[in-house]
Amino acid sequence: MRGMRYITGLAVLLLVGYAADAQSGGTEDVAGAAHQADAARLLAGFLENDIELKDLAIKARQAELGRKQTGIENGFDLTLSTGTMTVYTASDEPGATAFSVTPTAEFSFPPLNGAKLGVTVPLTVSEGGTGNKQGNDVAVENAQVTLSATLIGPARKQRTVALLKSDRAVLEAHRALLRRGRAAEKEFYERLRSLYESAVEVLTLENTAYTKEMDMAVARAQGYTPSSVQYRTVELEAADAHRAAQEQQRKLKRDTGLFARDCGVDAETLSDLPSLLPQADLETAPEFGSGSDRERFTEIEAAQWARHIGALSREATGDFELSAQGGVTANNTRINGVGDRVSADAGLTLNWRGLSLSVGTQIPVTDTANSRAAFTLSLGLNTGKQRLGALSGEEKVLAAESEALALQTAERNWEETVDTVRAERADLVWERKRLAEQYALYRELALDTTAQFQSGLVTESEYRKAVTNEQRARYEILAADARSLVHLINTGLYIVEE
């Protein structure tokens, strides 16, 4: 259901733009508004039936869930544990038992340099048995409260990188969904353009057949009989032209049926193609390559992001890390003394390219006269990590150089794309003007020929040829309008959404 809401919202967004851009052009007719509504309805159905669009809607939702998961993994965390609970015989006294448990709690604060607050309470409860008059005995030893944090290290940067990558994943998933919506809209107009061009071909073939019929009339006027070679030749050419037109008409009908199916409508309801499309006024449209288009060019934006996150990732893989630990231990059995034997604990841990060093101390804070401090020391070495650490610097330099080259390539592609888009737009503007002028001439001729046919001044073949020429010119304009819409969509696909 969530995926369908994505697609429905996308369809509404596209259709709002569709209606806002719709203008009347050289193909005006009394049913224009209805035909335009039909085109919008077909486009909405085409988007709803696009499987890839549905799949990307699911992926967008998955990316959002992944972002929430990353936020949880890199946010505040609380861990509670009872530890191992043990029941055992405490002594030879009948019924003497003991129960031990070590409950722990740990609070993690990744935003604060990976700070962790831990509480551990080893607890032993002993029952003296039938001869014990004092009841139960409760003992707590080595109970600790500890706080640790990274003083110097990549942990905070690693968290930042993880959150940025998850944010980027969501952004790219939504961009992919929107881009697929635009690409599907582009496919819709390309299919429609192909159908218009097929209709033009049908009308061209029919026009050829009418011309041959007129040649037959001329042959009869010149005295050729139906059995003559000249007349039969023209007659066969006319029949061939009609047959070719019928074959093309069958192909157009079949392709129209497939298009209707992909739009989610019955083929019978799509008896005629939409006679009006949104007019893409390329002359007044903003010129591609101006303003912030360069920074929003898909390849440049992706290369800049890769360079930015790459630099952060390399900083987040530092070789040096220094962390500190501190806390308090109650009833510390590791130090001498009597009474509560409370100690203040502190320690430092250093890691650098496979070399680890830890130092710590537990200093008594009670019964200091009889207690002695405890010290710990740990040293480790991993030779493999040392060798790998020596290579990491060179790898980082090469990665940065590769990202810089990718950005240079994107900038070069930008310049080539701007030249290509501007040249294509100029060609489309010129073609649209030429077709509009041609349509105006054919429309005027069709009106004059219709009037003359009604007055008996021209033949039916001449009348049908004039009307066919007007229809063909109209479909040529519709095909050009579809090409202009595809051009604008392609231009938009070069730029990332803000």
Give me the residue spans of the domains in the chain: 2-71+159-313+395-493, 75-140
Report pLDDT for 31: 41
34 pLDDT band, cuts 50/70/90, is: very low
Partners of residue 99 on adjacent β-strands: 87, 125
Nearest to 143 by CA among 337, 335, 375, 342: 342
Rounded Cα distance between 268 and 442, Å, is 30
DSSP for 31-67? Answer: THHHHHHHHHHHHHHHHHT-HHHHHHHHHHHHHHHHH
Mean pLDDT of all residues belonging to the chain: 82
Residue 6 has pLDDT above 80, yes or no: no
pLDDT tens per residue across span 190-213: 999 999 999 999 988 888 888 888
Report pLDDT for 412: 94
For residue 338, the SS3 value is coil
Q: How many CA atoms lie within 13 A of 291 on its CB side?
A: 7
81 pLDDT band, cuts 50/70/90, is: confident
372 pLDDT band, cuts 50/70/90, is: confident
Rounded Cα distance between 389 and 164, Å, is 25
436 pLDDT band, cuts 50/70/90, is: very high
Q: Name the range with the highest mean pLDDT among 110-119, 363-372, 441-450.
A: 441-450
What is the architecture, at CATH level 2, of domain 2-71+159-313+395-493? Up-down Bundle (1.20)
Partners of residue 377 on adjacent β-strands: 359
Rounded Cα distance between 85 and 79, Å, is 17
Phi, psi of 357 (to 5 degrees): -140, 125
Give the pLDDT mean for 97-114: 80
The single-letter code of the amino acid at 97 is T
Bridge-based pairing of strands 320-330 and 123-127 is unpaired
Helix and strand totals (H; E) in the chain: 9, 12
From residue 441, give the alpha-carbon distance in Å to each of 328, 385, 436.
97, 81, 9
For residue 299, the SS3 value is helix
- Give percent of the chain with pLDDT exceeding 90: 34
Residue 19 has pLDDT above 50, yes or no: no
Bridge-based pairing of strands 115-120 and 143-152 is antiparallel
DSSP state at residue 101: E
H/E stretch holding 115 reads: strand 115-120
93 pLDDT band, cuts 50/70/90, is: low
pLDDT tens per residue across span 224-279: 788 888 888 888 888 898 899 899 999 999 999 899 899 988 877 777 788 888 87
Residue 118 has pLDDT above 50, yes or no: yes
pTM across the whole model: 0.75
Nearest to 486 by CA among 257, 201, 194: 194
- Give percent of the chain with pLDDT exceeding 70: 86
Partners of residue 345 on adjacent β-strands: 327, 362
55 pLDDT band, cuts 50/70/90, is: very high
Give the residue with greater pLDDT, 33 vs 90.
90
Q: Is 226 exposed, middle or buried (CB count within 10 Å of its CB: 0-12, 13-18, 19+)?
A: exposed
Instruction: Report the range of poorest mean pLDDT among 165-179, 219-233, 237-251, 322-336.
Output: 322-336
Rounded Cα distance between 158 and 163, Å, is 9
The sheet carrying 136-140 orders its strands as 86-89, 97-101, 123-127, 136-140
In 3-state terms the chain splits into helix, strand, coil percentages (rounded to 5) of 60, 15, 25
Give the residue with greater pLDDT, 29 vs 442.
442
Residue 417 has pLDDT above 90, yes or no: yes
